[in-house]
Structure 1
Amino acid sequence: MAHYSINFAPLSVGGDTTALIGRQPYDDEHLRELRQEFSRTHVFRRDQDTIIDIPIRDDREPLGNLREEIDLAKDRLMLPSLFSSALLRLFSGQRQILSDRPVSVLGDASRGMIGHSALPSWIQKRTGLRFDTRPIYTKNRILGVVCEARSKNLVLGTCADLLSKGVSLEGRYVQIEVQPYDTRLMTRRRLIGKVREVRGDDLVLEDHAEGFETVAARDAFLEGRRETLNSCVRQILGRDAEQVLAQAEALEAEFHSGPKRKEQIERALDFLRKKDLEAVPGAKVTIGETLSSAAAGFPSTETIPKPFLVFDPSGSRKDDWAERGIKKNGPYDQRTFSPKQLNIAVICQAHYEGQVDRFVAKFLDGMPDAVSGNKIPRYGDGFLRRFQLERPNLEFFTARSSSTDDYQAASHRALSKASDEGFKWDLALVQVEEEFKSLDDGSNPYFATKSTFLKRDVPVQSVLLETMGQPNGKLVFSLNHLSLATYAKLGGTPWLLASPQTVAHELVIGLGSHSVSASRIGARKRFVGITTVFSSDGSYLLTDRTAVVPFEEYSDALYATLKRAITTVRKQDNWRSTDKVRLVFHVFKPLKDTEAEAVEQTVKDLNLDNVTFAFIHIAQSHPYLIFDNKQKGIGYRDPKKGVLGPSRGLHIKLGDRESLVVFSGASELKQASDGMPRPCLLKLHRLSTFKDMTYLARQAFEFAGHSWRMLAPEPFPITIRYSDLIAERLSGLSSVSGWDAEAVRFGQIGKTLWFL
C-alpha cells in the first residue's frame, strides 16, 4: 500500500496558556490602524462584529475595553494569528519577509538559482517558504501549519540601474515602492504604468495610474515576472544568457521536484521545532511531525477508480480508457451522426499552404507508420476512419499575410462561395501561430476568424503552425486530441460518462470564470461561464445551451439557467414534484450565503418538494501538497517524472467539508521538469443539504475524465473547465469589431461544444 504524507504539521501550545484578551467593535479601517500602530506588541483578529486583541509582551495590557481570560490550549481562535506573530519575531532581521498573512520568507540570496560574474546581484531567482495555518478534521479538529516551498523571481535594482546596464524599458510595466504597515516586512510594490519612452532621467508612461504621467527612473522598478527577468538577463549577458537561463531553469525544476520540495519542507519545520516559539510569554508552541499514513489519525484515503465511458446507446460497449474505447468501438452516435460527408474550409497563410496541406492529410487519414515505444500507431486510423466519416469536400482559402484583415478576407471568400453555390460549411480549419497569443484579442486573427464563422453557425478548429511542425512522435498525440475536439464541435457525441444508478434525479451546474482587460492599470472585466450536466438513462448529458455573462450578472444568469434546465429536464425525464432531486454546483469561488439561499428559493419557486443541494468550491489555489513516498518516478531513464508525486484518483478526506482530490497525477505530467502534481481542494459550503463528501469527490473526479477536448484527463472537472473555456472564448470574441453576442446565445452553434 502506498505511503502518503501531507505538508501539514499539527500545532499545540503548552506551559502557561492563560491569556487576557480585549474586545472592541469591528471597523475595517480601525483594524488596519491598530495593526499598523501595535504590530510589535499585540496580535489582532476579527471575530464576527468585534476586534479581539491579545498582548504578546509582558509589559502590555489588552487594548479593548471588554476584557476576558481565555485558555489558549482550549480556545484556539487566536492561535493561528499568534503563531504567525511568533514566526515574524523569529525571522525578523534573519530573513527577508514577503508577507505576514500567511508568513512568507525568502531564502538566502547567496543560495540563489541564477548567477553570472557579469550579472548584477539584484537580479535574483530565490527559494522561499510559506507558512499557512489550517484546520483539518479527522476524529477531532487539528490545527496545523502547512509549509510550502516556492521560488521567487526578483528584479531589485531600479530602472536607473537597468538603464545603466543597457536594458531597454520601452513597453515594460513599472512599479514604485510602498512602505508596508509593518516595517519588518519587505517594501511592497504598486503598478503605476507602462513605459512609452525614456526622457533623460525620467520615464514617460502610458496606460498609467492617475498622477503618474512620468516617474523618475531611480524611483521605478520592473516587475519580477519570469519573462521580464529573462529579458533583462538576455540584454545584459548577450551570448551567455541562454546558458545561464537554462542552468537556472534546471535548478528551479529540481527545486520544484517532489524530493527537493519534501526536503525543504522538512528542513524548515525541523528548524522551527528547535526554536523557542511562544504564542504569548510563557506559552510555548510545539510543532508535531507532518501527517503520514503510517501513523494513526491520518485522514481517510481512497483511490477513486477510473470512470467508465459508454460508446453505444445500449450501454454494452464500455471502456475506462478513452483512446482505446474510441478506436475499438467508434463514437457513441456513429449510427445517427449527420452529415457523414463534411464540407471543410481550410483557412491558412498563402506561404504555409503546402505545410498545411500535408498536415490536413495526416489529420484526415492518420499516421499508421508513426508508432510509439510499444509499437502501437497512436493515430493510425485518422479522423475519418475513427469517427466513421466519408471523404470530405475540402477547399483552401489563403490569407496573404498574418494580419487580421487578410484572415477575415479569406474567411469571407469561403462564406461567399458557400452562399453562391447553395451549401453550408460544416467546419472551418484555421492555421494560426503561437505569436497570435501575445496579441490583443481584438487584433488576434484567431478570434477574428472564429467570429466570422461562428456568426454563420460554422464551428472553427484552429491548429498552431508550430503543432503542424512537431516530430511525428509528438504530432500523433496532438492529432488524437484535435480529432476528438473537432468531432465534438461538429455536434458529435464521442462517448458518454456512465452515471451511478441512484434514486435521485441529478443536475450538476458548473461555474467557471475568465478575466480580461485591455489595460493592466484599469479594472479587469470578469466573465462567468455556466455549464449544465444532467443524468439520464445511466449517462451524464450536457444540456444544449451554454451561457456566459459579466460577473455582475452571473447570479441572475445562474438562476435563469437553473430554471430552464430543471423545466426542460423534468419534462424530458417525466419528473414528478415529489421525486428526489439532487443539485450539485461546482464553482470557481466560494459562494456567499446569500447566493446559496437565492438558489434554494429559485428551486422552491419551481414546486419541487424533495431537493437537496451541494455547493462545492473547487479551489485550484491552496498550500497543500501530497507526497507518495513509494512513487519512484515514471520513465525508463533519469530524470524520471513525478517522483514522490501522487497518482490520479487519490482522494484524501480532510473532514466532512473538505477533500483533496488528484485530478491529474504523476503519470499525467509531460516531463520531469513539470515538478509535483498538485491536488485540488474541494470545499463544501456550510449551507449544503447534501453532505456526502465522498460521493461528491468521486463525482468531480469522474467529470475530470469526461472531456471531449482532449483524450487525456483534464486537471479539473469539465463542469469547471468547460465553463472557463466558454468565458475565455466569448470574452475574446467580444473584443472583435462586428461580433454579434447573440450568435452563440440564439444560434444553432450555441447547441454545440464550439468552445473546445
Structure 2
Amino acid sequence: MRLVREALINEIIGMGYKLRSFKQPGFVSRYRQQDLLAQCAGDQREALAGVHVFPQYRLDARANGPSARMGIVVGLKTRYEFDLTVQDLLDRGFRVEGRYVLAQTGEVPYNPHLDECAYRKLVGAVESVRAGRLHLRDAPAVSEVGAGEAWLEGRLDTFQDVVAFLTGGRQGPLLERLEEEAFALTGAEGRLGRITSLARRLARGGPLRIAADVEVEIGVPLGTGSTGSSGGQVRSTPFAEPTFVFDPGGGKTDKSAQRGLTRLGPFDSESFSPRRPRILVMTPRPYQGSVEVFMNQFRRGVPNAKVFTEGFARKYRLTDCDIRIEAFEATGPRDATAYRDACLAALDRDEKPHLAIVITSEAQQDLQGDDSPYLVAKSTLMGQGVPVQEIQYETIGRGDVAYPLDSMALQCYAKLGGIPFVIAAPGTIMHELVIGIGSAHIKPSRFSAPERVVGITTVFSADGNYLLSNMSREADYDRYPAELLRALRVCIDEVKTRNAWRPDDAIRLIFHVFKPLKDTEADAVKDLVSGLLAEFRAVQFAFVHVSDEHDWYLFDTAAQGVGNAAMPSGRRQPKGRYVPQRGHAVTISSCEVLLTVSGPYDIKRPTHGLPRPLLLKLHRASTFTDIEYLAGQAFRFTALSWRRFYPSRSPVTIMYSDLIASLLGQLRHVRNWNADILRTAFRTSRWFL
C-alpha cells in the first residue's frame, strides 16, 4: 500500500494542507472556522487568540478490511496548540516551572510541505527561568533553550491551566462549551460525519493515480452505502453476554453479576474461610470520623441505596467482620514514613488481620517508590502476609458512596481469597488454558529509559466454567519467558490434577499478549510448552495480540442511544447515538477481528466520545485459527473482572496481567519489598485489584 500512501500525501498537499509526517499521511485542519476554542470563546476570544483546538486527521491505507475490501482507516482527534511562545506567557505572568516544553531541535529537515509544528520536539521540563532562558531538567539533548523559541506542550491539563490563567479564572463555562464542541467532533455521529465529508472531498478529486495506468477510487465509508456500492455492507457477529455462575455445581446462575451475587451469594460461599474476617483500617487522624462512618456503611450497608444495602457480611454470606480502625499522625501527603510506622505498630498490637484497608488522598496518587504512602503501606502490610485495599478520602465523601462501597467489597472478598462468581464456558472436547501476558512501563520521568515489566495471568476451563488460576510475580521483559515457563508449570500441574487429565486428552493453549509476538518468540513458547505437555495426544496453540491502540472504529447508524442526558449547554440528547452494543465482532482479515467491548449503556457521560473496539490479531504460528471463537472468548473474559461489577475494556487475562506488572513494577522501588511473599501468602489472593 506504499503507492496509495504516496498518492494520499500528494492529495493532501493538493487540498492545501501541510503534512504532520511523511511516514503516515496526516494533517491538522487550521481553518479559522475549524478552531473549536474560537467557536466557544465568545467575548474571551481576544484573550485566547494564541490558543487553539483543531481537528487532526491521520490516514492509513490498508490492504485488508471488512468484506475483503482495501481501504483507508481515518484517525480523528482534537489537537491542543499554542501559538504563544513561553516568553509570551511569561510576559503575561504565567508560571512555567515544572512544565514540559517543545522547541525546534533541527532533527527534522525542512520541507515546504511539512506542518510548522512538525519541527517542534519535546526537549524537557522547565527547572528555572533566568534572563530569558529556560533551564531544563529531564532533558537528554539540550540543557537550556530560549523562552521565545519554546512552546508549552499541548497536553490537556496544561491547556486547561493556560485557559484558566488567560481568562482570569472564568474558564468554567467556556471549558464546558468546548467539551460539547469536542464531542461533536469525536462522538460517534460527529466522527462519522467528518469521515464521510473527508471521503467525499477526496473522491471529488477523481481516482488516485498510484502508478502508470493504475488508479484507485475512493468511496464512502464502508457500511454507509447500499449493497453493491463502494460503501458495501459490514457483517458483524453478535455475541451474547456471558452467564454468571454462583455455585460449583452450576445450578445457581444469573445474567447479572451484581444481582446474582446479592440474590445467590458468592461462588464459594460454602467453603470460604475466614467466616468472620479481621479487617484493619489505617487512616490519618484528620479523616478518622468520616472513615468510621464509611466503615460502618461497609459493614452494614447503605439503606435505601440502589446497591449495597446489605453490607459486606450479608452480601458475601459471612458471619460478620471485625473492623479495627487505627488513626495516626501524618505531617503531610508525602509522609510515607508515618504510614510505615503506623502499620508496623498496628500489626504488633493485636492478632494479625486478614485484610487491611489504607486511607489515602488524591494528593498522594502520583507519588512513587518510598515517597508514596500507599506503596509503602502496601509493601509493609503485604510483607507480613496481609492483603491491602486502598480507598481515597475524597471517595468516602461522595454522595453516591454505595457504588464505590459495592466495588470495594467485591475487591476485598477476592483479596481474602474468595471467588465471587465465575462465567460459564462453552462446551468443548478439549481442555483449555488461557494465558494472559500483560505489561507496564515504569518511568520515573518522561525521558528516562522505561522499565518494561511483564505480568502473567492464567485462566482454565473446568466443569463448564472458566476459573482463574495462579498469577505470577513480575518479570523484566527480557526474562519473561522463564517466568512464563514457571507460571505454566504451576498452572498445568494444578489443573492436570484437578481435572484428571489423561494421556489421550487434547489440550488447547490460548495466549492473550500485549504486543505482537515475533516468530522466534512464538516458536520459543511452543517449544517450551510442548515439553510440559509431551504426554498428551494433541496440543493446539493460539497467539492473540490484544490491542486498543489503533484507528479503527465501528458505527451503528441504527443505534439511537439511551436515556435523555443533559449536555453542558442545557440541551438534552440520548447517550451513545450511533454507538454499537457490546459484543459485536467484525472480521477485517483472516487473522484480524474488531470487537466492541463498550456500548451505549457503558457510556457514563453524554459527552463521552465513541468507544474504541479491541483489535485481536492472530499470529501466523497459531495452530488453532478460529478467530470468531477466540473473539467470543475474549468478549466473555471482559465480564470476568472482580474489580468492578461492570465489564472491563479488555479481557481479564490482559487487565489482571497489566495490573500485576504495574503494581509489582512500582513496589520493587520500595525499600525492603520482597516479591517472594506472593508465592506463599498470596497464592489465592487477588491482591492487585
Q: Secondary structure at 1:131's aligned position in 2?
A: strand
2:424 to 494, 498, 517: 498
Q: How far off its partner does 1:672 sit?
A: 0.9
1:749 to 677, 682, 688: 682
Summarize the alignment of residues 220-369 of structure 1 with structure 2, pairs less than 5 Å apart: 220-276=150-206, 277-280=208-211, 283-292=214-223, 295=227, 298-369=233-304
> TM-score normalized by structure 1?
0.85
Distance, in Å, in 1 between the alignment partners of 2:409 and 2:316 is 9
Which consecutive segments of 4 or more residues in structure 1 shift more than 4 A?
none
Residue type at the aligned position of 1:564: V
Q: Secondary structure at 1:360's aligned position in 2?
A: helix
Q: Secondary structure at 2:508's aligned position in 1?
A: strand
Summarize the alignment of residues 78-477 of structure 1 with structure 2, pairs less than 5 Å apart: 78-91=2-15, 94-110=16-32, 111-115=34-38, 116-136=44-64, 141-179=68-106, 180-181=108-109, 182-186=111-115, 187-210=118-141, 212-276=142-206, 277-280=208-211, 283-292=214-223, 295=227, 298-370=233-305, 377-401=306-330, 402=333, 403-418=335-350, 423-471=351-399, 474-477=400-403
Per-residue Cα deviation, 1:216-244 (whole angstroms, up to 9, x for no partner): 21222221111111112222222223333
Q: Secondary structure at 1:105's aligned position in 2?
A: strand
Distance, in Å, in 1 between the alignment partners of 2:563 and 2:66 is 36
Per-residue Cα deviation, 1:581-610 (whole angstroms, up to 9, x for no partner): 101000111011001101111122221441
Per-residue Cα deviation, 1:73-93 (whole angstroms, up to 9, x for no partner): xxxx544333333334324xx
Distance, in Å, in 1 between the alignment partners of 2:440 and 2:637 is 20
Distance, in Å, in 2 between the alignment partners of 1:137 and 1:193 is 40
1:577 to 503, 521, 533: 503
Q: Secondary structure at 1:136's aligned position in 2?
A: coil
Percent of matched pairs sharing the same residue: 34
Check the 8 A contact 1:194/1:205 in 2, yes or no: yes
Is 1:688 the counterpart of 2:622 in the alignment?
Answer: yes
Is 1:509 the counterpart of 2:440 in the alignment?
Answer: no
Is 1:549 the counterpart of 2:475 in the alignment?
Answer: yes
Paired position in structure 2 for 1:9 = none
Q: Which runs of 5+ in 2 are unaligned?
A: 39-43, 566-571
Q: Which runs of 5+ in 1 are unaligned?
A: 1-76, 371-376
Summarize the alignment of residues 634-649 of structure 1 with structure 2, pairs less than 5 Å apart: 634-637=562-565, 638-649=572-583
Per-residue Cα deviation, 1:469-508 (whole angstroms, up to 9, x for no partner): 111xx32222221111111111001112211221111100
Distance, in Å, in 1 between the alignment partners of 2:477 and 2:559 is 42
Residue type at the aligned position of 1:114: L
Is 1:706 the counterpart of 2:637 in the alignment?
Answer: no
Paired position in structure 1 for 2:568 = none
Distance, in Å, in 1 between the alignment partners of 2:387 and 2:66 is 49
Is 1:615 the counterpart of 2:543 in the alignment?
Answer: yes
Check the 8 A contact 2:435/2:459 in 1, yes or no: yes
> TM-score normalized by structure 2?
0.92
Moved more, 303-312 or 557-566: 557-566
Distance, in Å, in 1 between the alignment partners of 2:440 and 2:502 is 37
Q: Secondary structure at 2:481's aligned position in 1?
A: helix
Q: How far off its partner does 1:725 sit?
A: 0.6
Per-residue Cα deviation, 1:124-158 (whole angstroms, up to 9, x for no partner): 1111222111233566x421011232111112332
Paired position in structure 2 for 1:521 = 447
Check the 8 A contact 2:283/2:328 in 1, yes or no: yes
Check the 8 A contact 1:299/1:653 in 2, yes or no: no
Is 1:624 the counterpart of 2:552 in the alignment?
Answer: yes
Paired position in structure 2 for 1:673 = 607
Distance, in Å, in 2 between the alignment partners of 1:406 and 1:285 is 68
Q: Secondary structure at 2:648's aligned position in 1?
A: coil
Check the 8 A contact 1:192/1:521 in 2, yes or no: no
Aligned length: 663
Q: Secondary structure at 2:180's aligned position in 1?
A: helix
Is 1:479 the counterpart of 2:405 in the alignment?
Answer: yes
Q: Secondary structure at 1:626's aligned position in 2?
A: coil
Residue type at the aligned position of 2:308: Y
Per-residue Cα deviation, 1:72-113 (whole angstroms, up to 9, x for no partner): xxxxx544333333334324xx22322233211111241212
Distance, in Å, in 1 between the alignment partners of 2:491 and 2:286 is 48
Q: How far off its partner does 1:120 sit?
A: 4.5
Distance, in Å, in 1 between the alignment partners of 2:127 and 2:291 is 39
Distance verdict in 2 for CA 1:578–1:137, change over 3 Å: farther
Residue type at the aligned position of 2:28: L
Per-residue Cα deviation, 1:175-218 (whole angstroms, up to 9, x for no partner): 222453444222233322221111111112222214x2222212
Distance verdict in 2 for CA 1:138–1:634, change over 3 Å: closer
Check the 8 A contact 1:299/1:654 in 2, yes or no: no
Check the 8 A contact 1:137/1:656 in 2, yes or no: no
Distance verdict in 2 for CA 1:204–1:137, change over 3 Å: closer
Distance, in Å, in 2 between the alignment partners of 1:610 and 1:80 is 44
Name which one, 1 or 2, has greater alpha-carbon Rg. 1
Check the 8 A contact 1:546/1:751 in 2, yes or no: no
Distance, in Å, in 2 between the alignment partners of 1:119 and 1:530 is 52
2:659 to 725, 734, 746: 725
CA RMSD of aligned residues (A): 1.9
Check the 8 A contact 1:166/1:236 in 2, yes or no: no
Check the 8 A contact 2:3/2:211 in 1, yes or no: no
Moved more, 234-243 or 290-299: 290-299
Moved more, 660-669 or 291-300: 291-300
Check the 8 A contact 1:498/1:540 in 2, yes or no: yes
Q: Secondary structure at 1:152's aligned position in 2?
A: strand
Check the 8 A contact 2:243/2:424 in 1, yes or no: yes
Residue type at the aligned position of 2:338: D
